[in-house]
Amino acid sequence: MARSSRNARPNAAQLEIFGRFLRAHQQVYESLNKSLLEERGLSLPWYDVLLQLSESGEDRLRLQELADRVLYSRSGLTRLIDRMEAAGLVSREPCEDDRRGTFAVLTADGKRALRRAAPTHLRGIEKQFFSKLTGEQLSVVDEAMKEVLQGTDCVSETAAPAVQ
């Protein structure tokens, strides 16, 4: 299917494709979240925060950078971090070179929770996504999503979805 002009209104077939994309995203998200909650008592957003902190190289990120990576607003992330801190999975530390900045830091309990949850998450991704697509289809999806992300406004270049 040819790309539409940036100013053109999507046609019915294009809107149907976009609707399937949204439904597929929602169903995969809900399935992954349900598995993590049932098997590990950890929601997908919590898992994503732990993963992003773990992959930072220092087990810590400034809250603003973390918000960009997990695609949360700063206020939404603050509430999420409050709950995760109360559960002992993360802590907060002040930023030494910016008194207004705060780091979210992965705790030892957070690392353990991430290690325990990773197999559940990876199994879910395989079952709900990879097993349904051929290698050729995955390549097409990859190229298409790169194109969509490249042309999307309002999304930080550092944003990274939870994939592990």
Give this prediction's pTM: 0.84
Identify whether the C-beta of residue 65 lies closer than 8 Å to the C-beta of residue 49.
Answer: no
CATH annotation of 45-133: 1.10.10.10
Residue 117 to residue 36: CA distance in whole angstroms: 7
Name the CA dihedral angle for 125, 126, 127, 132, rounded to a multiple of 10 degrees.
110
pLDDT per residue as tens digits for the range 123-146: 999 999 999 999 999 999 999 999
Domains of the chain by residue range: 45-133
Each residue's pLDDT tens digit, 62-82:
998 999 999 777 788 999 999
